[in-house]
Amino acid sequence: MYNNLQPLFISHIMKSTSKIIGCLTLTTLLIACSEHRPVNTLPIPVKPQTQIKPNYVPPINPLGERTVEDILQIYGAHATRKLNNYFAKAKASFPPKEITLVALKQEKKLELWARDKQEFRLIHTYNIQAASGVAGPKLRQGDRQVPEGIYRIEGLNPNSNYHLSMKLNYPNEFDLFHAALEGRSNPGSDIFIHGRAISIGCLAMGNENIEELFVLTAKVGAENVKVVIAPHDPRVYPLTTDSAQLPIWTTELYANIFREINALSTKVKSTQTMRSQSMLH
């Protein structure tokens, strides 16, 4: 009887073993799937992401150490947009090759004239915010007079106490020659076109105006800028020297000033003359 039961027992054990092995295999597969990653495979390389760098802005020196380039970076874009508009209205190219600034002390106006290859054109007229003194040339240090004559821009100051400033070459050769003849050893110096609205012998233009003039001068080149300062507009009525307080050489000075302003544009002169004549009738 034992011999008859042995095959049945062996068969039962084999079936049980097969079931156990099957369960173990299924369990292994379920565990592998639950980890959400392939088994025995190499990692997939990931393409590096391209990093977007912010626009680079060059550093600006602190106040007191700023350069002309710093000023162009700060105010250049805004000032250039406005200047482009002025030049477009005047039908002139920007930037020009040469400019002349005509300062009229009595009228407190500063005219911007420019040319490229053609004749000078009146581009824009600025209001002078302050200009100390009276009609007549500057003679000595401390007289608070705005000089009169024909000058050049000697330098640009991006660190001025008056926002921005452009130094005139006063005293020029004409001023020095006549100061020496009269024995005036200190005719004065440090005359600027600058910002704000305070003047002690300078032309104060206000901050926004000086930004435009500063940027324009930097673009054109100071060597291509002339500044003519007159006691009043000689196209309206003549420059006279009938005051006993004026030096005798003022007659020559005013003739030079008139010649410079008159040469800018005969069209403007004719218009001004016709207007003044019509007012007399």
Catalytic positions, please? Answer: 194, 202
**Residue 269 exposed, middle or buried by CB count within 10 Å (0-12, 13-18, 19+):** middle
- Distance (Å) of CA 157 to CA 190, 199, 218: 12, 17, 11
Candidates 236, 231, 227; CA nearest to 260 is: 227
Interacting residues of 27 by C-beta distance below 8 A, sequence separation 6+ = none
The answer to whether residues 128 and 115 touch, using CB atoms and an 8 Å cutoff, is no
**Residue 53 exposed, middle or buried by CB count within 10 Å (0-12, 13-18, 19+):** exposed
d(C-alpha 231, C-alpha 235), whole Å? 12
Provide the token pair at 249.
């050489």
